[in-house]
């Protein structure tokens, strides 16, 4: 007896070692690759953030230039130029002050006459905005940008910079970047002067952060490698400020600088950090010197990704080793019994008394035998199903193509394995891991089909519950950003495949002045407001609509089979419903667009439309169609 136990244990150890050898080598190899894959993931994420910042900067510059052209052609300005009374000049000043406060992208708005003298000037910043008094207006005829302005042709919009702002011949401290949009103004066949808009690059820079997270802000360098917009706002323009000349890519990060000279984008390791970069040009600029966007990552960015992958890989390894152990145990047990019993009796016991439910059918696929586990799992006894085909268990969850592929595999390979949803006797559904094998005679003709399955219904229910929990926002009860991203990608793919038949709209809704609610009533009331808005949206939308909370007070709605005009009506109805059902007079703003084949473009259009609603006074809905975006582009 002792010898037999020793033999069985030794057989188990040897069999387990042989079966586990190849998987073990695989997992060791995968562990060695984890850091490299994590670095690739961080690099891809950084390049994506840099591409976002690059596109966002270009869009902002284009919008500002368009706005500057409109301001230069404004009738109030022309009237003030031709008839510079105090009233006319004040009207223009107040208009510019309103525009500067609303748009938040200017540091100065000025009209300079053809001799270089400021006639109207508005200064603005995040903290203060003012109309400059006439006695404080300055002569700018000796500035280089004025000479550049004089070279502009009629109706030509020019830009000048990037340099440092100066007042009365002295550089302004703290150091302020200067970038100007200049439009010549000609009235009555004569050049009257120039409209000059100085951009507040620091405020524009803050809008470049991916998902509005300041940690995603890149450092921006000039084409010759000097700081323009660093995160800390210091060390800028070493090519102009002698004290800053040591702060440049070539001197601080020589490896990165060498790589930048060779390619337009990439990632370089310098010291203990990785630097991802991308080069671009600001269009409309007076020079072709590129800008360089750089984003730094260190081990703290890579380690969580690597740790998560290691954890997942370890889980898979443990799970696989358990399976191998079970297979080994089954084999050793089978071999032990084989020595005591004939092959026929061993097969019969293994098939009919095992843990799996077993169904045996004849060559006409009619049931001839089942085991006790089958009865426990399905509720059917042998007498109730004998002579019938297994189609009596069909749940209707699988189409004809599914069963055709199953029979094709049985005919060609003699075996089929897969996951199947069937129906128990009481009508409830059972999810099975099903394995079907054919038994043939010496001529290869199929005589029997042996099907065995394991009930995994409980495990599937747990998986579905966990999946829903991972995709639900706990505060609002709506879907979260992860679920939204999955859904918009799915709809975009369908639209890409069926562009003429799919009509899906996207809406972004943001609670107006939500910070005031938190500040005035507290965060508990703020959370309650979010829940009430979520409830209103859910109540007034269809079950087929996807509603998600994707930010603090921001919601997204995907409306299948809905045109853009219908979506606008729906969102306006939601806007009104939110206000009516709110005890705190809550209002929302919305942006609507049609979903195209590119989910990122669809989201950006909706975000632009939402921003326009906010800019125009809130409590309204604006629409930006994909066709409109394409025409602008």
281 Cβ contact partners less than 8 Å away, ≥ 6 residues apart: 288, 289, 290, 291
| Mean pLDDT of the region 444-452 | 87
| Mean pLDDT of the region 113-121 | 94
Residue 286 has pLDDT above 70, yes or no: no
Provide φ and ψ at 274, rounded to 5°. -110, 135
- Report whether CATH 3.30.930.10 matches the domain 59-299: no
Q: Which runs of consecutive H residues, i.e. helices, occur in 343-456?
A: 343-352, 372-378, 382-385, 400-413
Cβ atoms of 508 and 595 within 8 Å: the answer is: no
Distance CA 181, CA 285 (A): 9
Q: What is the DSSP string of 444-493?
A: --EEEEEEEEEE-HHHHHHHHHHHHHHTB-TTTSSB-HHHHHHHHHHHHH
Distance CA 253, CA 261 (A): 13
Q: How far is CA 145 from the centre of its chain?
A: 41
Element (H, E) at 575: helix 564-580
| pLDDT on residue 344 | 47
| pLDDT on residue 354 | 59
Percent of the chain residues topping a pLDDT of 70:
93
| pLDDT on residue 301 | 65
**Going along 528-586, which residue ranges are E strands?**
546-549, 554-559
Pick the CATH number of 472-624 from 1.20.140.10, 3.30.70.270, 3.30.300.20, 3.80.10.10: 3.30.70.270
Domain assignments of the chain as residue spans, ordered by start? 1-48+306-338, 59-299, 353-461, 472-624
| Mean pLDDT of the region 422-428 | 86
pLDDT digits (tens, 9 = 90+) for 399-424: 888 888 888 888 888 899 888 888 88
Residue 16 has pLDDT above 90, yes or no: no
Residue 549: band (very low, low, confident or very high) from pLDDT cuts 50, 70, 90: very high
Residue (of 476, 498, 496) closest to 488 by Cα position = 496
DSSP letter for 170, please: E
Q: Which CATH class is domain 353-461?
A: alpha beta
Q: What amino acid positions are annotated as catalytic residues? A: 553
**Would you say the CATH fold of 353-461 matches that of 59-299?**
yes
Q: String of b and e for 301-321 (b: at least 16 CB within 10 Å)?
A: bbeebbeebeeeeeeebeebb
In three-state secondary structure terms, 49 is helix
Residue 140 has pLDDT above 70, yes or no: yes
Provide φ and ψ at 573, rounded to 5°. -65, -40
- Reported pTM: 0.46
């Amino acid at each position: 007896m002792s010898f037999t136990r020793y033999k069985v244990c030794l057989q188990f150890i040897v069999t387990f070692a042989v079966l586990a050898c190849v998987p073990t080598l695989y997992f060791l190899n995968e562990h060695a690759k984890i850091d490299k894959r994590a670095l690739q993931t961080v690099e891809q994420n950084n390049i994506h953030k840099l591409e976002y910042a690059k596109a966002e900067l270009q869009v902002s510059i284009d919008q500002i230039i368009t706005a500057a052209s409109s301001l230069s052609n404004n009738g109030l300005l022309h009237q003030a130029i031709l008839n510079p009374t105090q009233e006319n000049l004040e009207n223009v000043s107040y208009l510019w002050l309103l525009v500067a406060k609303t748009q938040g992208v200017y540091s100065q708005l000025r009209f300079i006459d053809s001799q270089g003298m400021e006639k109207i000037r508005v200064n603005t910043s995040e903290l203060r905005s003012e109309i400059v008094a006439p006695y404080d207006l300055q002569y700018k005829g000796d500035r280089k940008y004025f000479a550049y302005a004089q070279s502009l042709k009629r109706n030509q919009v020019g830009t000048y910079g990037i340099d440092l702002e100066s007042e009365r011949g002295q550089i302004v401290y703290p150091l302020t970047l200067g970038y100007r949009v200049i439009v010549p103004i000609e009235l009555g066949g004569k050049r009257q002067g120039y409209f000059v808009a100085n951009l507040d690059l620091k405020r524009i820079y803050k809008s470049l952060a991916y998902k509005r997270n300041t940690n995603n802000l890149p450092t921006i360098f000039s084409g010759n490698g000097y700081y323009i917009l660093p995160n800390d706002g210091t060390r800028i323009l070493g090519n102009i400020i002698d004290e800053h000349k040591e702060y440049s890519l070539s001197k601080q990060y020589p490896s990165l600088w060498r790589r930048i000279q060779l390619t337009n984008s990439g990632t370089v390791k310098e010291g203990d950090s990785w630097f991802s970069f991308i080069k671009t040009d600001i269009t409309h600029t007076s020079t072709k010197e590129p800008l360089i966007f750089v984003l730094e990552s260190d081990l703290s960015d890579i380690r969580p990704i690597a740790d998560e992958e290691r954890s997942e890989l370890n889980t898979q390894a443990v799970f696989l080793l358990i399976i191998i152990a079970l297979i080994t145990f089954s084999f050793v047990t089978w071999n032990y019994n084989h020595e005591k019993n004939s092959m026929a009796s061993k097969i019969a016991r293994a098939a009919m008394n095992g843990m799996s439910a077993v169904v045996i059918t004849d060559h006409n696929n009619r049931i001839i035998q089942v085991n006790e586990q089958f009865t426990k799992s399905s509720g059917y006894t042998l007498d109730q199903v004998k002579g019938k085909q297994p189609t009596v268990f069909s749940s209707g969850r699988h189409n004809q193509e599914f069963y055709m592929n199953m029979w094709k595999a049985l005919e060609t390979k003699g075996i089929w394995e897969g996951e199947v949803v069937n129906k128990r006797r009481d009508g409830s559904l059972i999810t099975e891991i099903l394995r079907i094998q054919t038994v043939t005679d010496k001529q290869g003709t199929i005589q029997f089909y042996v099907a065995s399955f394991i009930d995994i219904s409980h495990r599937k229910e747990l998986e579905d519950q966990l999946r829903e929990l991972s995709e639900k926002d706990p505060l609002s009860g709506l879907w979260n950003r992860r679920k939204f991203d999955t859904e918009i990608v799915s709809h975009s793919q369908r639209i890409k495949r069926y562009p003429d038949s799919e009509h899906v709209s996207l809406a972004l809704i943001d609670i107006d002045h939500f910070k005031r609610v938190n500040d005035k009533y507290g965060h508990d009331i703020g959370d309650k407001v979010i829940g009430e808005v979520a409830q209103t949206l859910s109540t007034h939308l269809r079950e087929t609509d996807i509603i998600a909370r994707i930010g603090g007070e921001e919601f997204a709605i995907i409306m299948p089979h809905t045109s853009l005009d219908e979506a606008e009506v729906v969102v306006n109805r939601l806007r009104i419903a939110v206000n009516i059902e709110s005890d705190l007079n809550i209002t929302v703003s919305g942006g609507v667009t049609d979903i195209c084949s590119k989910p990122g473009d669809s989201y950006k259009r909706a975000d632009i439309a939402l921003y326009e609603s906010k800019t125009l006074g809130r409590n309204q809905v604006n629409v930006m169609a994909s066709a409109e975006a394409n025409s602008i582009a």
